[in-house]
Amino acid sequence: MVRLERLGADHADALLAFETENREYFARSVPDRGDAYFAGFAARHRALLAEQDAGACRFHVIVDDLGDLVGRVNLVDIADGAAELGYRVARRAAGRGTATAALREVCRLAAGAYGLDVLTAVTTRDNGASRAVLARTGFTVVEDVLLDGRPGARYRRRLSAPL
């Protein structure tokens, strides 16, 4: 079982460790964050918290039964009842339903506590795991896109639609 927690200042060390430990794994399916991300992590973390406090974004960490940070789920560019969804799960937690459970929970929060109507997400066509999670959680493909030159798709989910 996993739970979502709103990103806080106290997550900084665990989040940096999560991103560092999984950097190579993530780079296989999404563009690498680059060295500057890691070098300036503390300032970046503070900036994210300020964005969240302003209401422009909602950032979450995924925590497992042992209290370890095993992923993150973000809602960004919140406007007019919509947001863009992004997520990543640690290699050691992949394939165990972690992403599916976390996305179901963030959809529930988005519809209820956050008052959102629609979420969108993008992934590359070769990221079968992400495509499967999005399909399991009620997202459907709405258009083809390119992500750093790689074929991908944009997904959409109306939050009023049942799973």
Q: In this structure, what CATH number is given to the domain that contains residue 151?
A: 3.40.630.30
The pLDDT assigned to 24 comes to 92
Instruction: Classify residue 118: in a domain, yes or no.
Output: yes
Distance CA 125, CA 109 (A): 27
Instruction: Classify residue 80: in a domain, yes or no.
Output: yes
The pLDDT assigned to 7 comes to 97
Q: Locate 24 and state its tokens.
A: 């190579």
Distance CA 56, CA 61 (A): 17
Average pLDDT by stretches of 10, the chain with 163 residues: 94 96 88 86 96 95 96 97 96 94 96 96 93 97 92 94 55
Instruction: Classify residue 24: in a domain, yes or no.
Output: yes
Instruction: Classify residue 51: in a domain, yes or no.
Output: yes
Instruction: Classify residue 163: in a domain, yes or no.
Output: no
Number of domains in the chain: 1
Instruction: Classify residue 131: in a domain, yes or no.
Output: yes
Residues 6+ apart with CB under 8 A from 57: 48, 51, 74, 75, 76, 77, 78, 83
User: What is the SS3 string spanning 124-140?
Assistant: ECCCHHHHHHHHHCCCE
User: What is the domain extent for residue 39?
Assistant: 3-158
Distance CA 108, CA 145 (A): 27
Instruction: Classify residue 111: in a domain, yes or no.
Output: yes
The pLDDT assigned to 160 comes to 81
Distance CA 25, CA 142 (A): 27
Distance CA 63, CA 38 (A): 21
Phi and psi dihedrals of 129, rounded to 5? -65, -45
